[in-house]
Amino acid sequence: MGVAKQLYQLQEVDLEIEANEQTLSRLVSQLGKNQAVVEAQAKLTSEQQRLDELTHRQRSAEWEIDDLVTKITAAEEQLYSGRIKNPKELANLQHEVDLLKAKRDQLENKALEIMGQVELAEASVTATDSESKKLETEWHSQQQQLSADIEALKNKLSDLGHKRQLISAEIDPQAIGVYGKLRKQKGQAVAKVEQGICRGCRISLPFSELQQARSGNLLQCGSCGRILFLP
Ligand SMILES: [Zn+2]
């Protein structure tokens, strides 16, 4: 096998290694990230706080209503007891009862409104809680899949590394040196020659270069410097 073909095969393995290494580092960077779960939990905490606050307001309103009802009962008891004879005093007491009842009605409306808000907040908490749990479960299984994929990629890379060793052991070290330098400079070190054109720079090769390339020996493109490989 000519050295150009050997280097071309080496390059194919190297490109595969490169692609797999990129995938591996992308997967590794995804390990442990649970942004969606963190966000859902933060949302749940804030919704839970709102629910607590509303529940507290509802209870306060209910206590205030109880307090008013006690006052109304006591005032009415006095009003209808017959103990108060003075008409002005009776009228004042009646007025007081009316005011207390108006206030109670107002508070009852407010309490109903809060109750509606509490129900909505409870529904939100329940929905966010189950969403958060669902995301967490998904995240755990994704992480497991990720770990398995990473493991498989590492094995594949180890196989490729072994394959690379076997191929490069067969190649003249000087040629490997030229190849390595070009890989660093250009990414692609070996270019195929197709229809008399270097696929690295797309320039037609002179007849003399084509003939040398046909021999399979190490020959660099006069234009881009890549090692020419004529399949
Ligand atoms: Zn070229």
Ligand 1 centre to CA of 189 (Å) is: 10
Mean pLDDT per 10-residue segment, the chain (231 residues): 93 97 95 90 97 97 97 95 92 96 97 97 97 95 96 98 97 96 96 95 93 88 95 90
Sign of CA dihedral 214, 219, 224, 229: positive
Q: Evaluate if pTM is beyond 0.85.
A: no
Ligand 1 centre to CA of 38 (Å) is: 52
Ligand 1 centre to CA of 89 (Å) is: 113
Matching residue, tokens 């899949």: 145
**In the prediction, which pLDDT does 165 show?**
97
**In the prediction, which pLDDT does 214 show?**
87
CA distances from 139 to 40, 44, 127, 224 (A): 12, 17, 18, 48
Give 203's strand partners: 198
Q: Note residues around ion ligand 1 (Cβ under 5 angstroms).
A: 198, 200-201, 221, 223-224
Ligand 1 centre to CA of 226 (Å) is: 6
**In the prediction, which pLDDT does 147 show?**
96
C-alpha neighbours within 13 Å on the C-beta side of residue 217: 6
